[in-house]
Structure 1
Amino acid sequence: MTACFHCGEPIPAGVDLAARVGDASHAVCCHGCAAAAQWIAGLGLADYYRLRTEPAARPDEDAAFDAWDRPALQRMHVREHGGSEPGERRAEIVFVVDRLRCAACAWLIERALASLAGVAEVGVNAAARRVRLVFDPTVARLSDAMRLVARLGYAARPLEAAALDALRRDENRDALKRLIVAGLGTMQAMMYAVALYAGSFDGIDVATRDFFRWLGFLVATPVVAYGAQPFFRGSLREWRARRLSMDTPVAVAVALIYVASLVETIAGGREIYFDSVSMFVFFLLAARYVELRARHRAGDLVDALARLQPATAERIGDGGTETVGVHELVAGDRIRVAAGASVPADGTLASAACRVDESLVSGESTPRRRTTGDALIAGSLLLDGPVELIVRHVGADTVLAGIVRLVTRAATEKPHLARDADRRTRHFVVRVLVLTAATALAWLALDPSRAFDAALAVLVVSCPCAFALAVPTALTRAVAVLARRGVLVVDGDALEALARADVCVFDKTGTLTTPRIEPADVDAVRGDADRALGIAAALEHGSTHPLAQAFRAAAADLALPVASALRHVGGAGVEGVVDGTRYRLGHADFAGAADARDRLVLADDAGVVASFVVRERLRDDAADALAALAADGVALDIVSGDATNRVGDVARRLGIDNWTAQATPRDKLERIRALRGKGRIVAMVGDGINDAPVLAAADVAVALAGGAALAQAASGILLAGDRLDRLMPARRIAQQMRRTIRQNLTWSACYNLSVVPLAALGLIPPWLAAIGMSASSLVVVLNALRIGAEPAPRAADDIAQPVEAAS
């Protein structure tokens, strides 16, 4: 019976349908497969059929996709933010794709989604089966994207704990089943091989010898046909894509050993290798299973974060308390959280005080005390209670969802280290295949009876598995360790740069110091001081800049007016309309004040309304963090837009000789460029909106997770919990990762240089080559697991001593 070209299922009798792909017409089983195949070809993605390793799933176009456009679902899974251009809108979602099997599937989904109008960015992680989609919500509809995914033959689901559990469970079960089959086959094949080896010394009749050989064939066949299936699929995919990797030599070796043994068994030849091929597959699957478990542990952070947010919440209404789904909450709702429960949404504490555990969200192991008006983060565990909470952000807009997005972004973007490793692996595979052929030809000329054994030993023993695993295992492990310690790696390349950085440039306000404003520090020129403070806090509404937070904290007891038409000017201030009057808040020049010394000024078109004295305190962990960096040979620099006396005072207290004050964003950028022009490797640490261009220009950008969203977007590393004392431990892990990568690559090179000549000389039998190759892969994986094995250093206490800056 003919199989469908698209999905591979048998075509029912009487069905005469065809899809035209390229210049050929192919039989399909239904109109859905015909439409899918022709649509894929119409997008110019017909190469998918050449790259895939197995048939696609049948499209399910009867599913309801309009649910993806419902506000309740989008509140939970879609986050909207501004784009890179003024007035531009962007929305971002991470979802799970069932039936996503290989790189060809990822290639097809990525290019198909990118073809949609309004889609700005697509990232696909084939291993985790996750897709990150950034789109313009005014142009593209999420339902259209999900309908497109379904037309390709895949099923999309929101990123939830249940979906993650199912994917993890399926992957682990499949790998474990193959390992068990290979293990049982290997044990049986070795039992029969022992009888054959003993018979070769003590004498064995031909009938008994052939009987044990056929038994070996029977037990090795499931190992090769089922256990080694991933290697054959991967090799086929590599040849179709014309990009060689580790699966090709493995598949060639397994196929050669198995076929040669079968031919020798039928012909009654001298040697068979059913035990060797079973052992080869078993050890290689064992190494891959260890790698799989390591990768799963690396992904445990995202899975744990996805489980932190509860499914329901207790909402307080006029009629009492009701239990509702978290997706039903909206900003302004008042909810009740019991002791021992997880906070369901970001919000403001309305009760007197409580203690919360934010360890999985911020990496801070010490419980944090929160008082009335303080922010609580979704996913944090309430230790005291019950408490009442005013909801501020739900679903995709929470801090928790942002962490998941950042970790997912890091997983879907392959860093330079991994790309370079892939390129080296391809070259290595070519050399292995050439060396194998040369060994076979040399032995054919010297002793044809030993040609196959020697060539096979070279092919097996020099398998590039360890070489291919050297970089990704170390990088994955380092990212996972740092994430559990409150350091989020957004860009894999940032770790290597952090390890090599020799100068670290800091912003001051919000990075080294935390500003605060007291009501007594408000000098009203016109009108009431409380009114001026309320207007300033309204202008700073929605901003995460430390100064904005200081204004809102000072005005916590005031009824704030509503500000509109807000416009932030980097390094200068903010302006907006309050009660029909346009106000400007910022430096004296920006606000239009003649002389306000070191104060921030609030002004309207008629002149200065009020000025504010901004007091600062050093972050409690700043001195220790900078001292640790200096002790490691890193030069320290401060570049700030603040007044000279303020910057100088902070630099003096921290023991920093190089500092620049009253710097504009352009001045900061020029400073970074000047340092890089001298050959320095620059790490920039900042948090504000005006830091974004400088962060983007540095070799490695580090932002505080509580800082401005634009600064975070330009950063490669985020310090959760706004703790600078995590910077030096992160550098230690990055350096350990680099050392581990060098060790892995050195081990792989030394191993191959030492054993390949022995194998080429015929001194290593195929079964021993299988053990050596698998052992080398295990060494690489286990060495990578040593990264961060020592306990995490304890963070400094949260008790801060105020340090007043001169005014």
Structure 2
Amino acid sequence: MSTAATWADPRLAAQVLRERRDGCSEIALHVEALHDPRQVLWLEQRINALAGVRRVAIDRAARRVRVVWQTRRTSLPTLLENFAAAGCPARPLRHDEIEDARAAEMHDALKRMLVAGMCAMQVMTYAFVIYIGVVDFVDFSTRNLFRWLGLLTTIPLVFYSARSFFRGAADELRGHRFGINLPVALAVVLVFAASVINTLRGSGEVYFDSVSMFVFLLLGARYLELRSRHRGGAQGDALIDATPLLAQRRRADGELETVAALSLVPGDRVHIDDGGMVPADGVLESASVQVDEALLSGESRPQQRQRGERLAAGSVLLTGPAELRVEHGGTDTGVARLGTLAARARQARASLAGSDRDAARFVRRVLLLTVLTALGWLLVDPSRAFDAAIAVLVVACPCAFALTVPVTLTRALGQLARHHVLVTDGNALLALARVDRALFDKTGTLAVPRLDAAATEPLRGDSREQVLAWAMALASQSSHPLARALTEAARGKVTPSQAQDVQVTLAAGIAGTVEGRALRLGHARFALAEGRIDPELADDALVLADDAGPLARFHFHEQPRSDAAATLEQLRREGVGLCMASGDHADRVAALAARLDIGDWHASQLPTDKLARLRSLQADGHTVLAVGDGSNDAPLLAAADVSAALTSGTDLAQAQADLLLLDGRLDGLLQARATALRMHKVIGQSRRWALLYNLFAVPFAAFGLVPPWLAAIGMSLSSLLVVLNALRVGHDRTDDATPGRPGSGSAAAVSA
């Protein structure tokens, strides 16, 4: 049975197909061979020509293709066969539900905001005619007409756009907590109801313009915050590529059959080809092999595994083939448990994060003032009690207060994006200002592989510059840590060549044509033809070879990141305690800790060990920043008060991180902390303004001295002031200074 035909199994297809409401199916495919634009165009034309295909979306950067089609007209195996025939073999991915949920959430928020905006603009036009009546004569019939027009225009805003506030208020009441949604929902309902009653009876004040503007401003702020958060969270399901969906199981008669990896059970025998990915956790039953566990541990060095040792799902065989006896398959594999542990840790962190205490206090005060006003007027003049209470609720309604955090946070996210720091969770940025402990991973985070230029060995008489230029042409097409190290070392030293027909083999190497020569760069078994492997080349160096044999060997050594020492020193000056936890051996961890002056370090740490160390720090009352890049760091990153990952790390690590350092530099942490400190100060100033505004305006509203037009102006001015104050984040000299320099960055922001 061919690999494509295997996907006819309904159990396997159910893992990758997402059924749509229009009767079509959707699939996400990983396609490595998307380098040549002409090949991409040919692939798109070929797939679009298949029967029943509705849409083909190709993302070259992510090496992903999404296809929407009718499976009854073109089967999944036929679709995959056409990909292979086009020279672009495709690997189906588990259905991308997270990305679809994000898109639906963004689409829903945008629709509600646009509806609110259109309604608010129209209602303000009608309200202007009514306001004219304060200074000039407007006849009774005209005023009533525009009241009714305002009512009709506000209805979709209240019953559609403001629905998220009603849901939020219901959740807060069920959770027995005060949040910002409760006064917003009460204000919208009561003010709208009072305005409807006054419109029906033809007398009294109407506040349709205040309700409309209030809802639109809050929805706008929430949409901007949501958009900024989703930009960083668009990593998708990080476990999609972690393990293969197919496996070669050995039957009782010794023959191999291709089955769904999810169907593997303990005791099954699995055959893994050279360069293949391990589909399940198990015990190696064949000769020793080399495996790449970078996906799981972040360690770029190949690991030697002997007969009887365990292999982890998601590892890649560098030498093989291998026979594996399955111990854990499907959702019981180690990599699946890592994802589950990370999800539980993030859920626990979210449940422990209490509601905004300042917002809760503000809400209680607003509600108390409204009730006291109503009770006071019931004693003096019951006919004015309802109108006076509504006036207090409108004036004190926390528009400015509710806008403070979203507007300031949105400004901060934009400023950090300019400095190549992407924030995926705005709440974590608020916590960053309180961090007093930082827990770092080692490999890939504090230390990276570097090319030993002096030890570069041309093997056939070519110059070092020539072999380095050839290797750079291939290495620049890969994101593997060793390939990035080679590219960085060669940049500026050699004239780069252009590689054609590039093919990247996961955890093995890169093949392509450079200056008319077919070259391969990678581990020795990949780069050299089978049977011609020199034992001296079979180490962890990279080998460059052509059809005639090896051309050069490149050696690497581990050293601290160029900005690691300065970043750690700056954090120490700010009072942040440092700790390093690594899965690497103690001698290498100790050596790096000595170079970076980290006294608190721990070696041979499993993911559960790192998580336990974090829990211990949090139990002692510390606010902890965790920084890592490997999939084994995912539970740690998910559970930390604030977490950061470099974009050179694994997808799973990035998916759990709150901060993504896009340029691979640790000093982005300093810029993020400086911005967080400044943002904390600006939020405090804006909230104090909101409180002062209420203290001044509420007494006038309570005595019935605030007409609707004045309440609308007061609300607009207070909200405008909050927005203008938020613009100060990133405009101060301290925010624009380079982190780590004396008198700049977060240290300077503390004294601002």
Q: Specify the TM-score bucket, using the shorter chain as the normaliser.
A: 0.5 to 0.7
What is the deviation of 1:729?
0.8
What's the counterpart of residue 715 of structure 1? 657
SS at match of 1:500: coil
What's the counterpart of residue 194 of structure 2? 256
Which of residues 138, 141, 153 in structure 2 aligns to 1:226? Answer: 153
Q: Aligned residues, how many? A: 514
What's the counterpart of residue 413 of structure 2? 479
Q: Does 1:488 align with 2:488?
A: no
Provide the rounded CA distance (Å) in 1 between the counterparts of 2:709 and 2:508: 72
SS at match of 1:129: helix
Pairs within 5 Å for 1:261-340: 263-265=201-203, 272-273=204-205, 277=207, 280=210, 284=214, 287=217, 291=221
CA distance 1:554–1:174, change in 2 (3 Å): closer
Provide the rounded CA distance (Å) in 2 between the counterparts of 1:426 and 1:576: 63
Q: Which one-letter code corresponds to 1:716 in the other structure?
A: D
Provide the rounded CA distance (Å) in 2 between the counterparts of 1:780 and 1:92: 44
What is the deviation of 1:645?
6.6
**In 1, are the aligned partners of 2:451 and 2:486 still within 8 Å (CA)?**
yes
CA distance 1:544–1:467, change in 2 (3 Å): same
What's the counterpart of residue 789 of structure 1? 731
SS at match of 1:684: strand
Provide the rounded CA distance (Å) in 2 between the counterparts of 1:518 and 1:237: 57
- Higher relative contact order (Cα pairs below 8 Å, separated by 6+ residues): 2
Normalising by structure 2, we get a TM-score of: 0.53
CA distance 1:504–1:518, change in 2 (3 Å): same
Provide the rounded CA distance (Å) in 2 between the counterparts of 1:690 and 1:542: 25
Q: Does 1:445 align with 2:379?
A: yes
CA distance 1:763–1:629, change in 2 (3 Å): same
What is the deviation of 1:489?
1.7
CA distance 1:254–1:633, change in 2 (3 Å): same
Pairs within 5 Å for 1:405-424: none
What's the counterpart of residue 189 of structure 1? 130
CA distance 1:796–1:757, change in 2 (3 Å): closer
CA distance 1:667–1:422, change in 2 (3 Å): closer
CA distance 1:416–1:758, change in 2 (3 Å): farther
What's the counterpart of residue 458 of structure 1? 392
What's the counterpart of residue 83 of structure 2? none
What's the counterpart of residue 216 of structure 1? 143
What is the deviation of 1:432?
5.5
What is the deviation of 1:730?
0.5
What's the counterpart of residue 432 of structure 2? 498
Percent identity over the alignment is 38
What is the deviation of 1:129?
0.4
Provide the rounded CA distance (Å) in 2 between the counterparts of 1:650 and 1:77: 39
Provide the rounded CA distance (Å) in 2 between the counterparts of 1:787 and 1:414: 31
Provide the rounded CA distance (Å) in 2 between the counterparts of 1:236 and 1:710: 34
SS at match of 2:579: strand
What's the counterpart of residue 730 of structure 1? 672
Q: Deviations over 1:478-501 (max 9, x none)?
A: 333322321112233432332222
CA distance 1:171–1:715, change in 2 (3 Å): closer
Which of residues 627, 637, 650 in structure 2 aligns to 1:685? Answer: 627
**In 2, are the aligned partners of 1:474 and 1:741 still within 8 Å (CA)?**
yes
**In 2, are the aligned partners of 1:621 and 1:725 still within 8 Å (CA)?**
yes
**In 1, are the aligned partners of 2:106 and 2:227 still within 8 Å (CA)?**
no
What is the deviation of 1:502?
1.0
CA RMSD of aligned residues (A): 5.9
Provide the rounded CA distance (Å) in 1 between the counterparts of 2:652 and 2:609: 19
Q: Deviations over 1:170-227 (max 9, x none)?
A: 888755544443343333222222246xxxxxxxxxxxxxx72332222333233225
CA distance 1:562–1:443, change in 2 (3 Å): closer
CA distance 1:576–1:704, change in 2 (3 Å): farther
**In 2, are the aligned partners of 1:638 and 1:658 still within 8 Å (CA)?**
yes
What is the deviation of 1:754?
5.2
SS at match of 2:637: helix
**In 2, are the aligned partners of 1:669 and 1:697 still within 8 Å (CA)?**
yes
Which of residues 570, 580, 605 in structure 2 aligns to 1:628? Answer: 570
Q: Does 1:129 align with 2:92?
A: no
Q: Which one-letter code corresponds to 2:126 in the other structure?
A: G
**In 1, are the aligned partners of 2:614 and 2:640 still within 8 Å (CA)?**
yes
Provide the rounded CA distance (Å) in 2 between the counterparts of 1:691 and 1:414: 17
Which of residues 463, 481, 486 in structure 2 aligns to 1:546? Answer: 481
Q: Which one-letter code corresponds to 1:218 in the other structure?
A: L
What's the counterpart of residue 201 of structure 1? none
What is the deviation of 1:675?
3.4
Pairs within 5 Å for 1:662-677: 668-669=610-611, 671-677=613-619
SS at match of 1:718: strand
CA distance 1:504–1:185, change in 2 (3 Å): same
SS at match of 2:408: helix
CA distance 1:78–1:554, change in 2 (3 Å): closer
**In 2, are the aligned partners of 1:440 and 1:455 still within 8 Å (CA)?**
yes
**In 1, are the aligned partners of 2:165 and 2:184 still within 8 Å (CA)?**
no
**In 1, are the aligned partners of 2:112 and 2:161 still within 8 Å (CA)?**
no
CA distance 1:124–1:758, change in 2 (3 Å): same
Unaligned runs of 5+ in 2: 1-19, 30-43, 49-54, 69-93, 171-181, 236-342, 459-463, 491-495, 510-522, 543-551, 741-752
Higher alpha-carbon deviation: 253-262 or 546-555: 546-555
What's the counterpart of residue 76 of structure 1? 58
What is the deviation of 1:474?
3.2
What is the deviation of 1:719?
0.2
Provide the rounded CA distance (Å) in 1 between the counterparts of 2:230 and 2:101: 20
CA distance 1:223–1:653, change in 2 (3 Å): same
Q: Deviations over 1:40-82 (max 9, x none)?
A: xxxxxxxxxxxxxxxxxxxx9779777999868666259999x
Q: Which one-letter code corresponds to 2:481 in the other structure?
A: P
**In 1, are the aligned partners of 2:678 and 2:729 still within 8 Å (CA)?**
yes
SS at match of 2:648: coil
CA distance 1:215–1:288, change in 2 (3 Å): farther
**In 2, are the aligned partners of 1:545 and 1:687 still within 8 Å (CA)?**
no
Provide the rounded CA distance (Å) in 2 between the counterparts of 1:760 and 1:485: 48
Higher alpha-carbon deviation: 289-298 or 665-674: 289-298
CA distance 1:188–1:547, change in 2 (3 Å): same
Which of residues 446, 455, 476 in structure 2 aligns to 1:512? Answer: 446
What's the counterpart of residue 269 of structure 2? none
**In 1, are the aligned partners of 2:730 and 2:736 still within 8 Å (CA)?**
no
**In 2, are the aligned partners of 1:294 and 1:477 still within 8 Å (CA)?**
no
**In 2, are the aligned partners of 1:176 and 1:289 still within 8 Å (CA)?**
no
Provide the rounded CA distance (Å) in 1 between the counterparts of 2:637 and 2:415: 24
Provide the rounded CA distance (Å) in 2 between the counterparts of 1:649 and 1:582: 37
Provide the rounded CA distance (Å) in 1 between the counterparts of 2:665 and 2:168: 45
CA distance 1:575–1:504, change in 2 (3 Å): farther
Pairs within 5 Å for 1:140-179: 177-179=118-120
Q: Deviations over 1:236-291 (max 9, x none)?
A: 676689725614423431442353265255xxxxxx435xx366357647845974
CA distance 1:187–1:127, change in 2 (3 Å): farther
**In 2, are the aligned partners of 1:415 and 1:493 still within 8 Å (CA)?**
no
